[in-house]
Chain A
């Protein structure tokens, strides 16, 4: 079935907003085979078309600027922020009707395309780290956990808040700032969680502690600690108690 005129008009408007700025506002309509009168309507309203392009792009780009200030600073220093945003918009990767999904869509596009990562190998990690706190703070609540206790025992597994994330990076991206956006290259392990007030917090972990937290989700604590070569599990247990008080851990549960 041929595409309707209404549909092609909408496509022309989307192209006018998302693609490189055309020299002629009627060009997308012409390319889509719309009648000359429709093409002319686009050409006859240049200020309004400019306004639509500006308004729509503002609403699409604002969450990126808010969520990724360090990435933006890095790319602006190199004169590449605008081209990055344009490549993202041209890719038509904003598929969700939830406005909060815009920044995750951008991260997904960076991951899928590898944009800029030849020049900046840490770019994806940097963007991920900037989004991490937002995702953790807004992670949907799960059903209330049952049969949890407060004191960790050797046979227990750890029950995290659904928003808690343990992440590993090859760069210290959490230390990067807008003034110094290039992170040091060193293995980095972070625990991101929301505290009792619901605010996102990030703690840096040792590699061993990070591994313990990951393993102990499904494997008894004593077994996890032994497998990872912890000579003395007491510091790890103290950390877990502390994380439970801070809200990252909901409690501990016997596997049986």
Chain B
């Protein structure tokens, strides 16, 4: 069983633990991945060979946990039994925090298994803040919320996305899992400057970063997690890290068109080099000038 690890011990670029790679990860302690991210919904209550392999890896290596289907901004009551299981799982893995998406995933007890946007309204923000506080009170580790990609506004909006996210993070007093690819994709779809957007945000709350690939379908760019990370998104990650001036862990997400483990390790090394460069002293000195330009 893993012991709780301090948040500061999580640095560098980690990977999501994927079923397709379990055999290789379990067999290779020298994989060089500083931490794994795993989804508790996929492990709690599961069994069999892959489950055993995943649990063995999570007991051996550092892990961060990331939920998919809690429906933070929804209205369905929590599943108390599941939350107790979740909390036991979080303690067992030793994760320093647990992240969930700032979205809804279910309605009327029906789970949609999709990250759906919340209305950018004061009422929705108040509701989500109350839910986040309640969820936080039930977990033994700090809660982080992640900004999602959204492709449509849900109803008439009263504020923009940046204001909505800031209001929820501040109101709930929770940390931020900043997905820079989601910022980039939203910027493409809704026509804003991602750095100017980030400059408005409470970056002091960022505890972790996500990075991923995306793809355009018709006139909309979609957060697919199915392609290599493009240079502008890596550059946005570097800009953010330099501005933060601290080595928050970055998670490379790859959920579709999952490459061979060796290729994914090579992609991780590429992102790690960019991460290291962004946090080098020379880059840190350049960061304020970059921030002014934004």
Is the beta-carbon distance between B222 and A137 smaller than 8 angstroms? no
Say which residue of A13, A38, A47 sits within 8 Å of B116 (CB atoms): A13
Complex formed: what's the CA distance from A35 to B82 in Å? 36
- Bits for A1-21, please: 1 = Cβ < 8 Å to B, else 0: 000111101110110011000
Which residues 215-243 in B have Cβ within 8 Å of A in the complex?
Answer: 217-220, 222
Is the beta-carbon distance between A45 and B153 smaller than 8 angstroms? yes
Asked if A5 meets B123 with Cβ closer than 8 Å, knowing A60-B112, A97-B69, the reply is: yes
Residues of A within 8 A of B79 (CB): 97
Complex formed: what's the CA distance from A7 to B127 in Å? 10
Q: Is B160 located at the chain interface by the 8 A CB criterion?
A: no
Across the two chains, which residue of chain A brings its CB closest to B121? A6
Residues of B within 8 A of A98 (CB): 41-42, 44-46, 69
Which residues 214-247 in A have Cβ within 8 Å of B in the complex?
Answer: none
Asked if A51 meets B75 with Cβ closer than 8 Å, knowing A41-B153, A194-B48, the reply is: no
Is the beta-carbon distance between B41 and A5 smaller than 8 angstroms? no
Which residues 98-156 in B have Cβ within 8 Å of A in the complex?
Answer: 104-114, 116, 118-119, 121, 123-124, 127, 151-156
Which residues 237-259 in B have Cβ within 8 Å of A in the complex?
Answer: none
Say which residue of B127, B151, B156 sits within 8 Å of A41 (CB atoms): B156
Is the beta-carbon distance between B47 and A140 smaller than 8 angstroms? yes
Across the two chains, which residue of chain B brings its CB closest to A195? B49
Across the two chains, which residue of chain B brings its CB closest to A97? B69
Q: Is B178 located at the chain interface by the 8 A CB criterion?
A: no
Asked if A51 meets B110 with Cβ closer than 8 Å, knowing A10-B116, A97-B79, A138-B51, the reply is: no
Is the beta-carbon distance between A48 and B152 smaller than 8 angstroms? yes
Is the beta-carbon distance between A51 and B121 smaller than 8 angstroms? no
Across the two chains, which residue of chain B brings its CB closest to A50? B218
Is the beta-carbon distance between B112 and A17 smaller than 8 angstroms? yes
B contact residues, total (Cβ < 8 Å): 49
Is the beta-carbon distance between A10 and B104 smaller than 8 angstroms? yes
Residues of B within 8 A of A40 (CB): 156
Q: Is B52 located at the chain interface by the 8 A CB criterion?
A: yes
Complex formed: what's the CA distance from A237 to B90 in Å? 45
Complex formed: what's the CA distance from A203 to B118 in Å? 50
Is the beta-carbon distance between A10 and B45 smaller than 8 angstroms? no
Which residues 198-215 in A have Cβ within 8 Å of B in the complex?
Answer: 198-199
Residues of A within 8 A of B44 (CB): 98
**Chain A CB within 10 Å — which of B44, B48, B151, B222 has the most?**
B48
Is the beta-carbon distance between B108 and A92 smaller than 8 angstroms? yes
Which residues 37-66 in A have Cβ within 8 Å of B in the complex?
Answer: 37-38, 40-42, 45, 47-49, 51-52, 55-56, 59-60
Q: Is B70 located at the chain interface by the 8 A CB criterion?
A: yes
Residues of B within 8 A of A198 (CB): 48-50, 52
Across the two chains, which residue of chain B brings its CB closest to A96? B111
Complex formed: what's the CA distance from A225 to B107 in Å? 52
Chain A interface extent, by class? 35 or more
Complex formed: what's the CA distance from A98 to B86 in Å? 12
Complex formed: what's the CA distance from A75 to B257 in Å? 28
Residues of B within 8 A of A45 (CB): 151-153
Is the beta-carbon distance between A29 and B155 smaller than 8 angstroms? yes
Residues of A within 8 A of B41 (CB): 97-99
Complex formed: what's the CA distance from A138 to B118 in Å? 34
Complex formed: what's the CA distance from A42 to B74 in Å? 19
Is the beta-carbon distance between A51 and B222 smaller than 8 angstroms? yes
Residues of A within 8 A of B153 (CB): 41, 45
B245 shortest CB reach to chain A, Å = 36
Is the beta-carbon distance between B110 and A95 smaller than 8 angstroms? yes
Is the beta-carbon distance between B42 and A100 smaller than 8 angstroms? yes
A92 shortest CB reach to chain B, Å = 4
Is the beta-carbon distance between A137 and B49 smaller than 8 angstroms? yes
Residues of A within 8 A of B42 (CB): 98-100
Residues of A within 8 A of B220 (CB): 47-48, 51
Is the beta-carbon distance between B108 and A102 smaller than 8 angstroms? no
- 23 residue pairs A–B, Cβ–Cβ below 8 Å: A5-B121, A6-B123, A6-B124, A6-B127, A9-B155, A14-B107, A14-B108, A35-B156, A37-B155, A41-B152, A41-B154, A41-B155, A41-B157, A45-B153, A48-B220, A52-B116, A94-B112, A95-B110, A97-B69, A98-B69, A138-B51, A198-B49, A198-B52
12 more A-B contacts (CB under 8 A) besides A10-B74, A47-B219? A6-B124, A10-B154, A11-B108, A29-B155, A41-B154, A51-B218, A56-B113, A60-B112, A94-B111, A96-B111, A98-B41, A99-B113
Q: Which 6 A-B pairs have the closest CB atoms?
A: A198-B49, A140-B47, A48-B152, A97-B69, A56-B114, A38-B155
